[in-house]
DNA sequence: CGCTGTTGGTAACGCGCGTTACTTGTTGAA
DNA sequence: TTCAACAAGTAACGCGCGTTACCAACAGCG
């Protein structure tokens, strides 16, 4: 492999070229090479030897050894992220956002999978396996990312390096976290419906105890209050967070009232349920948004963008949360104090065609 | 941080505990500690000092430094994967499969993002950035993973370490790859429809030139041939690989024939198009699978499992391909010869309710 | 002329660990 | 009693690099 084909344009990389080789080839000391490669300000190297060294680097195809560099400099430029997202990729854009940001900062993001059970539960032992592995790699900071917004307990060893939680928060309230502004999202959704003239709005709710449900519903109430309205408890129905759950909940709401009392809009607290609601509405010969407007939450692209009509929904800012997580971590590792224990990220409204 | 609270049950980890500290604490040489920790067979250490060392490790909360170990032993236990999947997470289960397998093998998978343009195109320069970074980390092997089955060019530097392609293949035909058995998938889909009694089958095709379309269609033809049937070219319509594309294509097929000549089943070459086909069918007052059976491809969970009725489809074996990629890479790095240039992985049929 | 400051480098140490070569103490057989 | 064989460990080197301390040559200045 990597045979030296004569006449090749690309520099032939030899395996195992070290700084020493570069130094010899350039006729200087290894120290000089190190100085040039790390662009030291105060080191005095003449322009001529500098170019000679750079040429040697090119000719030999030298590639720095990140591990050795980390060992000597005592900084790895690595962050670690522990996440169940690899297992349940709903929120994979968190990883994308974090990756991109880390890449921009010239840092490596080590991704370690955690079983969902591990991340939530108090079961010590297995729980720390991923964290432990990351610390063995001498990551300079840790991120924990969850697929859905909730409280978690992180392993104790996370205290050893700066740590930031993404899309979840520390149940013990000690670590900084990045979470979606559920309330703002709920507010903006209902505001949109109000603006379209709807005053009788049905809500298809999630399990009422989870942070997402609590926040989004609270936001909905706020928006109604501003318009001088109240949320009719009868119009709020809960169901399983699935298409079937949404279908059933929508059926209950739609069939409960005579035509003139029927809600003219449905706020579905996630897109999967909206998907089911679509079916219930269409089955009854009603049109979207003509007879019933529908607004979702989550912006699960595969659903929202492909439903017919396309679903207007509130987006969970996964990518932004990932990026912000890395930025916060960078600030922390740079020694800056924690800004806030819980940073809220906007959930923007995505207008499509269902309102 | 990590303050020593007296009376704490958990061992208090001190930052920067090294083997030397462990050795001192146990009253032995650092070499002895190294021998014990790496479980050397031929090293002779008495059972008593062995336990003494292990105790010291516990008490001090020693954690090995993976980087230093890699430097000294000249093996990193790291694989790198370059992928656009982080950007377009459709095939994220490839990463999951690879991760899990690597984790089982006690190896770390470094994930580096590649822009889609980079991975395909011949644009040198930026193209290699991810690969270069990974090689700087001294990964022992490289994986390249694509979101959809196609030919790619990998950067030249990939030659320096064993390399395996996942869900794509080397356009130059030099590197081993893991790809889905599209033809087998097409065959099994049509076999299922034939078995259910359908003989007049419409096909909603993708862009006819991509490997997925070619293979799946070929498989469909094979299955029909076994039953003594031929694929009616008129029944094959292409469209954009979206729900809208599927909707339009399905409309064309459904409206073209009088009722008795209408196909009784649709083979949609991906699930998104099946989603659109559902709408076209329902709009015409037809039922699934009563009037028209539908079978998809890809098993995009968010769609297939939530459509009503749930979509029977052929799964792309992302997770398996990821795992097999790592296994193949492990074999290669262990010095075994390449088994085949292109390993096909089965696409299993997932029975739901649309046939 | 001696002195100081600057330019352009180099020698040498250590990061944390794997590994080889070597030492010491003990046992058993000749 | 002597010597080989083994058990139980240690000293020392080097992996590839960052970094500090040092050195030589030369210019400028009084």
Helix axes of B318-333 and B93-104: crossing angle, nearest 10 degrees: 40
| Protein residues with Cβ atoms closer than 7 angstroms to any atom of nucleic acid strand C | A 28-32, 35, 43-46, 48-49, 68, 71-72, 74; B 16, 18-20, 30-31, 34-35, 37-38, 40, 64-65, 68-69, 71-73
Residue B207's pLDDT band, with cuts at 50, 70 and 90, is: very high
CB contact at 8 A, A275 and A303 = yes
Lookup result for tokens 């991704």: A111
The reply to whether A9 falls in a domain is: no
**Of A107, A101, A112, A105, nearest in space to A79 by CA:** A107
* Closest C-alpha among A190, A182, A183, A186 to residue A149: A182
Residues B294 and B340 in one domain: no
Residue entry with tokens 């590649």: B114
Structural domain includes residue A73: no
A354 domain-assigned: no
Q: Is the CB of B135 under 7 A from strand D?
A: no
What's A120's domain CATH number? 3.40.50.2300
Whether chain A has a CB inside 8 Å of the CB on B174: the answer is no
Say if B11 is an interface residue toward chain A (CB within 8 Å): no
B235 and B246 fall within a common domain: yes
Structure tokens at B62: 């020693």
Are residue A264 and residue A326 in the same domain, yes or no?
Answer: no
CB contact under 8 A, B67 and A137: yes
Within-domain flag for B2: no
For residue A89, give the nearest of B92, B136, B160 by CB distance: B92
* Structural domain boundaries enclosing A197: 182-315
- Considering the domain architecture, whether residues B124 and B176 belong to the same structural domain is answered as yes
Residue B25 lies in a domain: yes
Assess A131–B contact: CB distance below 8 Å, yes or no.
no
Contacts of A251 (CB under 8 A, 6+ apart): A280
Q: What band does B123 get if pLDDT is binned at 50, 70 and 90?
A: very low
Question: What pLDDT sits at residue B113?
Answer: 87
Q: Looking at the C1' of nucleotide D15, which residue has the nearest alpha carbon?
A: B72
Q: How many domains does chain A contain in total?
A: 3
Report d(CA B343, CA B175) in Å as an integer. Answer: 11
Within 8 A of B113 by CB-CB distance, chain A residues are: 96, 99-100, 103
Instruction: Answer whether residue A60 is part of any domain.
Output: yes
For residues B204 and B273, give the distance between their C-alpha atoms in angstroms, rounded to a whole number. Answer: 8
Domain end point (choices B29, B64, B99): B64
Looking at the fold, whether B206 and B94 belong to one and the same domain comes out as: no
Residue B171 and residue B85 share a domain: yes
A177 shares a domain with A323 = yes
Task: State whether A176 and A221 are in the same domain.
Answer: no
Q: What is the CATH number of the domain that holds A47?
A: 1.10.260.40
What's the mean pLDDT in B159-171? 95
Nucleotides of D under 7 A from a protein CB: 7-12, 14-21
DSSP B82-108: EESTTTSGGGTHHHHHHHHHHHHTT-E
Q: Domain for residue B281, yes or no?
A: yes
Q: What is the mean pLDDT of chain B?
A: 90
Residues B203 and B309 both lie in one domain: yes
Percent of chain A with pLDDT over 70: 92
Same domain, B232 and B200: yes
Tokens of B111: 């994930």
Distance B45 CA to D4 C1' (A): 22
Instruction: Choose the closest CB to A68 out of B71, B100, B109.
Output: B71
Q: Give tens-digit pLDDT for A115-166.
A: 644 444 444 444 578 999 999 999 999 999 999 999 999 998 888 999 999 9
Domain annotation covers residue A69: no
pLDDT of residue A119: 41
List pLDDT tens digits, range A178-210.
999 999 999 999 999 999 999 999 999 999 999
What is the three-state SS of A106-141? CCEEEEEECCHHHHHCCCCCHHHHHHHHHHHCCCCE
Cβ within 8 Å of residue A175, ≥6 positions away: A154, A158, A163, A164, A165, A169, A341
Cα separation, B173 vs B36, in Å, equals: 46
Query: Do B306 and B200 have their domain in common?
Result: yes
Q: Are residues A214 and A230 in the same domain?
A: yes
Pairwise CA distance, residues B211 & B217, whole Å: 10
b/e code A343-352 from CB counts within 10 Å (16+ = b): bbbebebbeb
- Convert the pLDDT of each residue in B315-349 to its tens digit: 999 999 999 999 999 999 998 888 778 999 999 99
């Amino acid at each position: 492999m990597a045979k030296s084909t004569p006449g090749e344009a690309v520099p032939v990389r030899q395996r195992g070229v070290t700084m020493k080789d570069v130094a010899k080839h350039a006729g200087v000391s290894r120290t000089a090479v190190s100085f040039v490669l790390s662009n030291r300000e105060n080191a005095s190297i003449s322009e001529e030897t500098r170019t000679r060294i750079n040429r040697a680097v090119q000719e030999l195809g030298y590639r720095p050894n990140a591990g050795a560099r980390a060992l000597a400099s005592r900084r790895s430029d690595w962050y670690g992220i522990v996440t169940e997202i690899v297992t349940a990729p709903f929120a994979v854009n968190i990883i994308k956002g974090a990756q991109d940001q880390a890449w921009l900062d010239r840092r490596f993001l080590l991704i370690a999978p955690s079983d969902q059970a591990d991340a939530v539960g108090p079961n010590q032992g297995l729980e720390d396996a991923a964290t432990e592995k990351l610390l063995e790699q001498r990551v300079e900071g840790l991120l924990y990312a969850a697929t859905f917004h909730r409280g978690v307990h992180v392993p104790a060893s996370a205290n050893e390096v700066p740590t930031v939680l993404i899309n979840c928060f520390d149940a013990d309230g000690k670590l900084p976290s990045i979470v979606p502004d559920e309330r703002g999202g709920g507010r903006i959704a209902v505001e949109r419906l109000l603006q379209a003239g709807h005053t009788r709005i049905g809500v298809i709710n999630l399990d009422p105890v989870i942070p997402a449900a609590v926040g989004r519903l609270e936001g909905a109430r706020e928006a109604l209050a501003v318009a001088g309205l109240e949320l009719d408890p009868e119009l709020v129905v809960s169901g399983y967070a699935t298409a079937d759950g949404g279908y059933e909940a929508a059926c209950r709401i739609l069939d409960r009232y005579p035509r003139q009392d029927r809600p003219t809009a449905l706020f579905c607290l996630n897109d999967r349920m909206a998907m089911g609601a679509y079916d219930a509405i269409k089955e009854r010969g009603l049109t979207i948004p003509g007879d019933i407007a529908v607004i979702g939450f989550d912006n699960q692209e595969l659903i929202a963008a492909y439903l017919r009509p396309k679903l207007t929904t509130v987006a969970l800012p996964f990518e932004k949360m990932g990026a912000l997580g890395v930025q916060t971590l960078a600030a922390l590792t740079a020694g800056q104090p924690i800004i806030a224990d819980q940073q809220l990220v906007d959930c923007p409204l995505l207008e499509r065609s269902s309102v």
